[in-house]
Amino acid sequence: MLLVGEYRHAIDAKNRLFIPAKHREQLGESFIITRKMEKCLALYSDGEWQKFTDKLNTLPDSVVGEIKQFLFPKTMWASPDAQGRVVITPELRSYAELDKNVVIIGVGDHAQIWSESRWQEKESKRDTDAMVELLRKLGL
């Protein structure tokens, strides 16, 4: 699976968000929406979510207990309607500070949903020189 691209959409009055067709193809008929530490939301296919939770479950609760308490209670299963929209719960909207305009980005094994203003701020602060150097160090 490879989720890529940047898409801009609006959340409607019924808290529905259009998920790009290319992402829906990769994510499947139903997928997971959960919180990320960066104040955005993550979309995982069933398979990628299983890989993530399998890794998490190999670690002792003394290490990952707080992470599980942060992630699992607000995580939801989503199935797009006929128009490709999913309902974003008020709790998830609030956490990621999503108002009307959002940016959906592909980051390889999952997609992320950002408020448009937070994404623009993050992009403006990105240090591409440092990333190039890190890629060199990693041999990529």
How far from chain centre, in Å, is Cα 1?
A: 15
Tell whether domain 6-115 is in CATH 3.60.10.10.
Answer: no
In the chain, what percentage of residues exceed pLDDT 70?
100
Position 1 pLDDT exceeds 80: no
Interval 120-138: pLDDT, tens: 999 898 888 888 889 899 9
Summary mean pLDDT of the chain = 94
Closest among 51, 31, 53 to 41, alpha carbons compared: 31
Task: Tell me the C-alpha to C-alpha distance, in Å, between residue 114 and each of 46, 72, 73, 97.
Answer: 21, 20, 20, 8
Going from N- to C-terminal start, the domains of the chain cover 6-115
**Which of 10, 26, 12, 3 has the alpha carbon at shortest distance from 101?**
10
First-to-final CA distance of the chain: 20
The CA distance from 132 to 134, in Å, is 5
Q: In this predicted structure, what is the pLDDT of residue 26?
A: 94
> Rg for the chain (alpha carbons), in Å?
16
Q: What pLDDT shows up at residue 129? A: 86
Q: Residue 21 class from Cβ within 10 Å (0-12 exposed, 13-18 middle, 19+ buried)?
A: exposed
**Residues present in the chain in total:** 140
- Residues 75-106: tens digit of each pLDDT: 999 999 999 999 999 999 999 999 999 999 99
- Element containing residue 90 per DSSP (H, E): helix 90-95
